[in-house]
């Protein structure tokens, strides 16, 4: 059998088993572990290539006979559950329908069932690209609808959060309060090309005002200190959530007015809860909210302003807090409140705990101390910074950084999906899940995606001058594509609600035309169920120095002086 060199093979079909790929300008290198295609029979689109009539493309089978709608050929998949693998990816009816070898089974051996290429199939050449599941941002202040476009431009297709626009309440808390506001926001989201799940206000001492929000369409409840994060309100929110199978998120009591972190943990009563701002610069019990990350029932996340920990982190956080939480710099108690939340020692520990898999999720806190269009970027920057600071992870192969990269990818894909009850639909590159996918050129991984696929259609992309003779001439910037237009937007996007809301007819009552899907399995999960990020070590915080110890070892690092993939990647 004729052979070609590994270098020539990579130039034609992209890397294969044993080949390494550098991610951007980082020190992170992934290595392909498995190749699901067949050598010598690769599916390749283009002039003189194999996906032609009677060759790799079947010219007899109809779509009803199993032909794909779209195939991504020879792509490198980086997925928290699958690992780092090489494969073709088939898409049909907006879902991932196959991962393996695509082509024409009439003349090709080893074609994966359900991955026939035919007249109904379009193609994306993935030979020199990386494919990930699209990101999920589980901490969104719905201050402006334009957040969606910034998020799509960094590979995020799903929001969980709350608000009704630039009110002071929304600027400070991720809450869509009450049935009327819930209905208005569900209807507003009909024209925005990302998935959405709205959080209701969880600060109540009885079930009735909580239940009416859930029936109106809330996908979860948020207990926030600006509305009073008391142990009693937490208990009522969690008990209601248990009854209605939704998630509860919490931003705890920075001032320790209603109790300390131990009182809040006791109020959880062992129930599952998603903790926002697990470090505390964004809010929460000062100085030791970070201790909740050791609890097996706590699903911990933190936000991107402190990730990675840099020399300017402390300075910018003070002003963020003053603006977001309606504080007055001329009032001494307001200044003390803000200062209590900014602690370099716990910020440094937050970075370490992410690297150890103790803090499980990565989110933005959009326009409310965080940057919605930088989640993937800061995720990769943090992974790089931690490799530089801490060296190889013990779980990693000496020859690659696969485990570390997959640990971080899990924080923005599958783990928020599990936490919010949507992992049966989103969060990983698996057959049967919605085709919310992101394609990256390796040199721009984490910084600038090439294509964003939403429900099987390209809905956001880098695109050149529409009047040019090719798609590539400048100015090239992110533009909405056909998947984000007209009725196709509604076909390819999901509005998540509770099962109670679905059964109550929220879709019909609110006049929604998007897909409306209920979340499930929000209450029976624990940190053990989170992927590659489920460590529960003992955490101590010194109340005077704020030093954090993890299983007795001081968890700290120096702030980075410069960040990779920063100014040179973003001119202007």
Length of the chain: 572
CA distance 148 to 513: 19
What interhelical angle do 344-355 and 402-412 show, nearest 10? 110
The catalytic site residues sit at: 325
224 is in an annotated binding site: yes
- What are the distances in angstroms from CA 10 to CA 13, 15, 37, 79, 481? 5, 5, 14, 21, 30
Return phi, psi of residue 35, to 5°: -125, 120
CA distance 7 to 19: 10
SS3 511: coil
CA distance 470 to 453: 21
Smallest CA-to-CA distance from 343 within 262, 386, 289 is with 289
First to last CA, the chain: 53
355 is in an annotated binding site: no
141 is in an annotated binding site: yes
Return phi, psi of residue 449, to 5°: -70, 155
Burial grade of 113 (CB within 10 A; 0-12, 13-18, 19 or more): exposed
- What are the distances in angstroms from CA 368 to CA 28, 158, 170? 30, 18, 9
365 is in an annotated binding site: yes
CA distance 14 to 32: 11
- What are the distances in angstroms from CA 333 to CA 279, 322, 340, 475? 22, 12, 10, 49
DSSP-assigned beta bridge partners for residue 72: 89, 124
Cβ of 75: how many Cβ atoms within 10 Å?
25
Burial grade of 9 (CB within 10 A; 0-12, 13-18, 19 or more): middle
What is the CA 538 to chain-centroid distance, rounded?
27
HSE toward the beta carbon, residue 402, CA cutoff 13 A:
21
H-run or E-run covering 570: none
The annotated binding site for Ni(2+) is made up of: 139, 141, 222, 251, 277, 365
Q: Which residues are annotated as a binding site for substrate?
A: 224
């Amino acid at each position: 059998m004729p052979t070609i060199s590994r270098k020539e093979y990579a130039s034609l079909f992209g890397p294969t088993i044993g080949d390494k790929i550098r991610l951007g300008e980082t020190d992170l290198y992934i290595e392909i572990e498995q190749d699901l295609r067949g050598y010598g029979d690769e599916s390749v689109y283009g002039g003189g290539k194999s996906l032609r009539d009677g060759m790799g493309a079947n010219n007899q089978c109809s779509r009803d006979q199993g032909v794909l709608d779209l195939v991504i050929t020879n792509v490198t998949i980086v997925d928290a559950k699958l690992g780092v693998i090489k494969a073709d990816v088939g898409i049909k009816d907006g879902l991932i329908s196959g991962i393996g070898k695509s082509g024409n089974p009439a003349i090709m051996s080893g074609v994966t069932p359900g991955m026939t290429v035919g007249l109904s199939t379009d193609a994306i050449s993935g030979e020199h690209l990386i494919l990930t599941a699209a990101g999920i941002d589980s901490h969104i202040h719905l201050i402006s609808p334009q957040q969606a476009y910034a998020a799509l431009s960094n590979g995020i297709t799903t929001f969980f959060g709350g608000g009704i626009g630039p009110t002071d309440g929304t600027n400070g808390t991720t809450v869509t309060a009450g049935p009327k506001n819930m209905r208005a926001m569900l209807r507003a989201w009909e024209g925005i090309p990302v998935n959405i799940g709205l959080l209701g206000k969880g600060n109540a001492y009885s079930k009735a005002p909580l239940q009416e929000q859930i029936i109106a369409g809330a996908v979860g409840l948020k207990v926030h200190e600006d509305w009073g994060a008391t142990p009693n309100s937490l208990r009522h929110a969690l008990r209601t959530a248990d009854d209605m199978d939704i998630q509860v998120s919490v931003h705890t009591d920075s001032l320790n007015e209603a109790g300390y972190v131990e009182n809040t943990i006791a109020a959880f009563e062992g129930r599952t809860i998603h903790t926002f701002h697990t470090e505390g610069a964004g809010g929460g019990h000062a100085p030791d909210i970070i201790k909740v990350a050791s609890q097996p029932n706590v699903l911990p996340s933190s936000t991107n302003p402190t990730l990675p920990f840099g020399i300017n982190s402390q300075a910018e956080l003070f002003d963020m807090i003053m603006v977001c939480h309606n504080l007055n710099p001329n009032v001494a108690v307001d200044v003390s409140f803000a200062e209590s939340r900014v602690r370099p020692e716990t910020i440094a520990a937050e970075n370490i705990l992410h690297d150890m898999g103790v803090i499980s999720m990565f989110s933005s806190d959009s326009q409310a101390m965080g940057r919605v269009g930088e989640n993937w970027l800061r995720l990769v920057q943090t992974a790089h910074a931690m490799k530089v600071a801490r060296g190889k992870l013990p779980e990693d192969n000496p020859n690659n950084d696969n485990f570390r990269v997959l640990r971080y990818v899990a924080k923005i894909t599958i783990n928020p999906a599990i936490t919010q009850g949507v992992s049966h639909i989103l969060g990983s590159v698996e057959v049967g899940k919605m085709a919310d996918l992101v394609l990256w050129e390796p040199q721009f991984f984490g910084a600038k995606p090439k294509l964003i696929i939403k429900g099987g259609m390209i809905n956001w992309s880098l695109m050149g001058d529409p009047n040019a003779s090719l798609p590539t001439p400048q100015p090239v910037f992110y533009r909405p594509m056909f998947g984000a237009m007209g009725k196709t937007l509604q076909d390819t996007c999901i509005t998540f609600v509770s099962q109670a809301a679905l059964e109550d007819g929220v879709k019909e009552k609110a006049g929604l035309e998007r897909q409306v899907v209920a979340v499930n399995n929000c209450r029976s999960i624990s940190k053990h169920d989170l992927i590659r990020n489920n460590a529960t070590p003992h955490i101590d915080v010194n109340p005077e120095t704020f030093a954090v110890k993890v299983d007795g070892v001081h968890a700290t690092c120096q702030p980075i002086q410069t960040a990779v993939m920063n100014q040179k990647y973003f001119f202007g």
